[in-house]
Amino acid sequence: MNEEYFTMIGANPISDSVYQLEQGIQALLKSQCLISMEVRVHRPKTIPRSEGKAVRIVDKTKEPIGT
């Protein structure tokens, strides 16, 4: 089946492919990792990237130690 066929019958080949990809990933996660979760595939570059450096250590002290 090609894109012209999908257009003729009123279906969207991209959304069908995305749905199949999501279902395939869900099945692999369930069979290989024994977890069930919802998988969503988004268009490239639509999920915002984090900005700045990652903060791995958070200093929660109010005063310096030893004062």
Q: In this predicted structure, what is the pLDDT of residue 57?
A: 74
Q: pLDDT tens digit string along 7-65?
A: 666 666 567 788 888 999 999 999 999 999 998 888 777 877 777 767 677 777 776 66
Own/partner contacts of 58-66, CB < 8 Å, gap of 24 or more, are none
Residue 49 lies in a domain: no
Residue 18 lies in a domain: yes
Q: In this predicted structure, what is the pLDDT of residue 13?
A: 56
Residue 42 lies in a domain: no
Instruction: Please give the model's pTM, rounded to 2 decimal places.
Output: 0.52
Domains: count for the chain: 1
Q: In this predicted structure, what is the pLDDT of residue 18?
A: 84
Report which of 59, 17, 19, 25 is spatially closest to residue 6, judged by C-alpha positions: 17
Count how many residues are written for the chain.
Answer: 67
Residue 23 lies in a domain: yes
**Which residue segment(s) compose the domain that 12 sits in?**
3-33
